[in-house]
Homo-oligomer: A and B are copies of this chain.
Amino acid sequence: MDRLTHISTYVNVFLMEKMLCCTPLLTTPLQRSDADELAARFRALADPVRLRLLSLIADRGEVCACDLVVPLGISQPTVSHHLRTLFEADLVARERRGRWIHYRLVDSTVDALRQALAPAIVSS
């Protein structure tokens, strides 16, 4: 392990204290229930349409659902379906403002998933 990876690991370990969900994958054998929860969240990321939706939402900070249909070239109900999936995985939050519904990224969930992929701390 080189020096920078080492530093990065320690910074991440320190930040981990603040995290809530999702047992780390790579530091200790995963229990069945933890595996189920983690898999459910990764399943929400396992579709190209949802990744592009997330990407657009992250890029613009906050997006009206109406602005997410045309760029992806799929039907409005399909977009709605995927947004629901992301919402139920806690990856996005939504807020109604008049006729429109605005979506934004839930940073803490993304952080937690990133942490779940953090490398094990090597003792040597």
Interface residues of A (CB under 8 A from B): 4-5, 7-8, 11-12, 14-15, 25-30, 32, 35-36, 38-39, 42-43, 45-52, 54-56, 58-59, 71, 105, 107, 110-111, 113-114, 117-120
Nearest chain B CB to A8 CB, angstrom units: 4
Task: Enumerate chain B residues within 8 angstroms of A49, measured Cβ to Cβ.
Answer: 35
Q: List 7 A–B pairs whose Cβ atoms lie within 8 Å, in order of A's numbering.
A: A8-B15, A26-B55, A26-B110, A29-B59, A42-B45, A59-B120, A111-B119
Given contacts A25-B58, A39-B47, A114 and B120 within 8 Å (CB-CB): no
Asked whether B114 lies within 8 Å of A110 as measured between CB atoms, the reply is: no
A contact patch SS: helix
Question: How many angstroms from the CA of A39 to the CA of B7 in the assembled complex?
Answer: 29
CB nearest neighbor in B for A37: B48
Contacts of A8 in B (CB 8 A): 8, 11-12, 15
Closest CB pairs A-B (n = 8)? A35-B48, A43-B46, A30-B55, A26-B58, A42-B45, A46-B46, A39-B48, A114-B117
